[in-house]
Amino acid sequence: MTEAKLISALNEENLSHFSKTYVPSRLLLGPGPSNAHPEVLNALSLNPIGHLDEAYISLMSDVQQLLRYTWQCNNRLTLPMSGTGSAAMEASIANFIEEGEKILIAKKGYFGDRLVDMATRYKADVSVIEKPWGESFSYEEIKYEIETKKPAIFAIVHAETSSGVLQPLDGIGDVCRKNNCLFLVDAVTSLGALELLIDEWKIDLAYSCSQKGLSCPPGLSPFTMNERAEEKLSSRQTKVPNWYLDLSLLNKYWGSDRVYHHTAPVNMNFAIREGLRLIANEGLENVWHRHNTNAKNLWNGLESLGMELHVSEDYRLPTLTTVKIPPAVDGDGFRNHLLRNFGIEIGNGLGELSGKVWRIGLMGFNSSQENVDRLLNLFDTELKKYSIFESSTF
């Protein structure tokens, strides 16, 4: 037996104990991913076809049309990027900022920090305005900063997953246009769940993800850009520094030419088409109403149990609720108890809110009264078991 065959045989012997893949049942009520809709999972399991097959190219058109409806826009260049939400976030920076150009980022949580990090890596002139985690910016504050700093791009997170804040966006697009500035919005935790009007609010660039409001597994990041953004992209003085995320190349694949760029994740596009179809069948306004209603029921139920919510109701995010961990409670212990004994995931705080809040997600397929009732019942019956002091009250 040669040395190569001996090594192969040893590896086979060592690996023979592996069984078929098994994943435990989980109800994902954290910051994401959320559970995929059963019909989406059925679509995901279909046999793949070629990424230049006529049937697949037809499906690509369906996805684009359904995305335009969900984004509420008529933008020509609307597509699901191959990659998670951070890929589309990076594409928004890589394609529209050249070295030395000014970008103004409104930071009020972890994902504002990520935008700053990415913009710095692409050698932008980064300007930051900041709010504490749990607060939102006023229209007047944003207007003043744009008029004063005159950035090429203004970027803000619509639904900040780390803090649970929903940022009002109305009117900002007008300010950006008056100051020759592109308006970039992170809609990762709002697309397909909350009111989001790309054209009406004059948003030039927006991106999201597949695993939250769209009820799909992670792996795609919906993106849209209007004519103002297209003009800025076409007027670049330098080549886009990220080949994979270069929209001038992706446009040839997702545009009318359908020119090969990369091997698309075809099954994920089967899935997102189904997720978007389900949203269209329910109707966007009905989807928005469902998410708002279930969130308010959750908020009222938590407060009736004596829990304190981190964000004022005026700016509270319906898809992601931040609940203050009572001082007398072992936060990690309770969270792990829900997962191990009931198969329910809620999230720990992120960044500066780590250990201070739990993050409860009601997104897409998971936003239901049944899930609200189930979680509230467990908070009522199980939380007292994780009090550090036996006689403590919340």
What is the largest distance, in Å, between two alpha-carbon atoms of the chain?
Answer: 77
Has residue 12 been placed in a domain? no
Residue numbers of the domain that contains 288: 27-33+283-386
Query: Looking at residue 256, what is its pLDDT?
Result: 75
Q: How far apart are the first and last CA of the chain?
A: 70
Higher per-residue pLDDT: 1 or 187 = 187
Has residue 191 been placed in a domain? yes
The answer to whether the beta carbons of residues 212 and 193 sit under 8 Å apart is yes
Please indicate, yes or no, whether residues 225 and 254 belong to a single structural domain of this protein.
yes
Has residue 178 been placed in a domain? yes
Which of 281, 315, 332 represents a domain boundary (last residue)?
Answer: 281
| Model pTM above 0.75 | yes
Which of 238, 263, 281 represents a domain boundary (last residue)?
Answer: 281
The answer to whether the beta carbons of residues 128 and 107 sit under 8 Å apart is yes
pLDDT digits (tens, 9 = 90+) for 66-97: 999 999 999 999 999 999 999 999 999 999 99
Query: Looking at residue 391, what is its pLDDT?
Result: 44
Label residues 19-38 b or e (16+ Cβ within 10 Å = b): eeeeeeeebbbbbbbbbbbe
Which of 239, 264, 281 represents a domain boundary (last residue)?
Answer: 281
Please indicate, yes or no, whether residues 223 and 334 belong to a single structural domain of this protein.
no
Q: What values do phi and psi take at 127, rounded to 5? A: -115, 135
Please indicate, yes or no, whether residues 206 and 94 belong to a single structural domain of this protein.
yes
Has residue 11 been placed in a domain? no
Q: CATH number of the domain at 327, please.
A: 3.90.1150.10
Count of domains in the chain?
A: 2
Has residue 80 been placed in a domain? yes
Q: For residue 289, is pLDDT > 90? A: yes
Give 186's Cβ-side CA count (13 Å radius): 32
Has residue 5 been placed in a domain? no
Closest alpha carbon to 59 in 278, 206, 277? 277
Region 216-236: mean pLDDT is 97
Please indicate, yes or no, whether residues 155 and 165 belong to a single structural domain of this protein.
yes
Residues above pLDDT 90, as percent of the chain: 87
Using pLDDT thresholds of 50, 70 and 90, give the confidence band for residue 1: very low
Which helix H or strand E contains 251, and what residues bound it? Answer: helix 247-254
Has residue 117 been placed in a domain? yes
Has residue 391 been placed in a domain? no
pLDDT digits (tens, 9 = 90+) for 2-50: 555 656 655 666 777 778 899 999 999 999 999 999 999 999 999 999 9
